A and B are shown apart, each in its own frame.
Chain A
Amino acid sequence: MVTTSPTYGSAGPAVAPRSFLSKLRNGDEIARLVTFVFAMTVVLLTVLLVYQLWINSALPRHKFGLHFFTTSVWDPVMDEFGALPFIYGTLVTSAVALFLAVPLGIGAAIFLAELAPQRISDTLQFFIDLLAAVPSVIYGVLGVFIVVPLMRTVIYPLINKPLGFLPIFKGPSYGVGFLTAGIVLAIMVIPYIISVSREVLLSVPRDQREAALALGATRWESTWKVVVPFAKTGIMGSIFLALARALGETMAVTMVVGNTPKIAASLFAPGYSIAAVIANEFTEATGPLYTQSLIALGLVLFLLTFVLNGLARILILVTTQKGSGVTR
């Protein structure tokens, strides 16, 4: 067994040429191998996740095909499963959430990045980070006990009286429904929009602002016409990220959306979402087709968030690199 190489004399292990055996003796190769195995476990888990979702949703894929997405019947007794009401509910609640959260979130991000002194900005950001850590089941509890009654007594009369002629505000309110879920979701995703948008805005080079101000722009004009357009793609990224969160959010939506697999134009109507139906019916699903239809819904959800997260990452990266490219 050769432990040291004779050609380099006895200059010590650090200088000796690192043959495989000497590395093995130092533990380098073992360390590399062990850590490699663990790193590969991550890849393996991800592949397994996709694989499991795929094979465990084979039954509805073969039986319904693309019909699965266009049918709005969800009848476990007759073994008929269509995903449309759930996809509709997921998209509508998320759209409402973004409609409410985007202006508020971007406004707050502008304040934190452009106006607030460093210390105040950092303190507020700390609270925003804490807000992002609040578990979704707590938002759900607050939704059930605060937003739902508020919807019945305050928000519904306020909107329905003047705007009830519009189809989206027509009909009675039961407290739970698309709008309620959208409001709760909005509150949940605001921290994500703020955090990412703030970071993106902070990466806009200083000279952009200074140039605008030097040309006589007011603070708002420099922000709105120079800084925000510069950071536009990154802010879009933060919105996509928030959308992906909203689409996949389970507990809070399940608790306030009404859990009714119907497609209704009115935002006050109760509905359902993909994540909510999985949460509610998975343990009760009888028969392989029922369970696999739910897993197929999970696959749809996975693909939706996968695409959105990918897009978001690219957009954020493009903007922050553009910023650092100019300053350096």
Chain B
Amino acid sequence: MSSNLRVRWRKLVSDIMMTMTGLCALISVSVLFFILGYLVYNGGTSINWAFFTQLPRPAGEPGGGMANAIVGSGKLLFAASLFGVPIGFLGGVYLAEFSGSLVASIVRYAADLLNGVPSIVIGIFAYSMVVLPFKGFSALAGAFALGVMMIPITLRSTEEFLKNVPNNLREGAMALGASKSQTIRTVIIPAAYRGILTAILLALARVAGETAPLLFTALGNPYWNNSWTQPTASLPAMIYYYALSAYDDYHRQAWAGGLVLLALILIINIVARTILARGIAVPRS
């Protein structure tokens, strides 16, 4: 009888603990919906046409928008991709197709190291590489910082997806007389392009929300700025400054900016992970 009780007790403990783990999972996931809901609730009412088309107004004046920050973020991301994606992609091609093991492990190690560097330290790096020599905060400096952050993700996933292409595709192309570079260009990369594109999009989504490396590279700018060598506003930095300001109007704008930024990032993530990557295992950044 007592052993029966003991079994029942153990089963009870098991059920309770397993329920607890379920609760942990539920709490963790619900944070996402809480964040989304709260941003929609607070930011939804502040999003209007002016938010996307107008410049920020001085504190105290109602209205205005973040048009310059949205365009600025776009410019930063564009230039960052122009810098980061080729290095990551072609470096990944080298790792997967050409390299010996020693060089490959050095490059891989460097990429992993770079991936783990805190974004604020990347900011210092961009500051000493671009801001100091060119004597001024600029969009280019911000783009350099974001580009450096895109490289390791792009590189490692390009390598991974290229290596996952079945070897008989390679052999088939070679047997038809294609050279190695022709094989890579016309067979292997097309076979892996969906995975690589997914990874690049995810890298872009990751740096789109980065604020820390922009604080002392791109800085910020309350006006329109068409130059690459001038300080440039960006959405995340704008949200940061506005959230810490003392004005209700700025707080509302910060909520709206947060909602726009989060929506953008989640959409890129969902598109990349579900539509593009159907049937492909997506590496985590």
Contact = CB atoms under 8 A, between A and B. Distances in A.
A and B together in one complex = yes
Contacts of A140: 240, 243
A249 B216 contact: no
A111 B17 CA distance: 10
Contact of A132 (B111, B117, B208, B284): B284
Nearest to B20: A107
Contacts of A70: none
B53 interface: no
B116 A306 contact: yes
A14 B174 CA distance: 7
B14 A13 contact: no
A104 B24 contact: yes
Interface string B109-152: 01111101111111111011100000000000000000010011
B118 A275 contact: yes
Contacts of A219: 14, 18
Contact of A32 (B21, B35, B98, B117): B98
Interface in A133-158: 133-138, 140-142, 144-146
B86 A38 contact: yes
B14 A134 contact: no
Contacts of A283: 215-216, 219
Contacts of B88: 42
A202 to B, nearest CB: 13
B266 interface: yes
Contacts of B17: 220, 224
- Interface SS of chain B: helix, strand, loop or mixed? helix
Contacts of A28: 179-181
B107 interface: yes
Contact of B38 (A46, A142, A313): A142
A12 interface: yes
A49 B125 contact: yes
Contact count band on B: 35 or more
Contacts of B59: none
A301 B121 contact: yes
A103 B27 CA distance: 12
Contacts of B128: 52, 56, 295
B117 A302 contact: yes
A166 interface: no
Chain A, interface residues (CB within 8 Å), range = 35 or more
Given A35-B90, A108-B21, A218-B10, A309 B112 contact: yes
Interface stretch (A72-80, A187-195, A229-237): A187-195
B114 A115 contact: no
Nearest to B177: A14
Contact of A309 (B95, B103, B116, B202): B116
A143 B129 CA distance: 33
B64 interface: no
B270 A108 contact: no
A130 B266 CA distance: 7
A219 B15 CA distance: 8
B25 A112 contact: yes
A128 B27 CA distance: 11
B13 interface: yes
Contacts of A34: 90
List the 8 closest A-B pairs by CB distance, nearest first.
Answer: A135-B209, A248-B118, A107-B24, A26-B179, A35-B94, A220-B14, A218-B14, A309-B116
Interface of B: 10-11, 13-15, 17-18, 20-25, 27-29, 31-32, 35, 38-39, 42, 86-91, 93-95, 97-99, 103, 106-107, 110-114, 116-125, 127-129, 148, 151-152, 155, 174-175, 177-182, 184, 202, 205-206, 208-212, 215-216, 219, 236, 239-240, 243-244, 251, 254-255, 258, 261-262, 265-266, 269-270, 273, 284-285
Given A40-B107, A110-B21, 9 more contacts: A12-B177, A26-B181, A53-B121, A105-B28, A107-B20, A107-B25, A115-B21, A124-B29, A145-B251
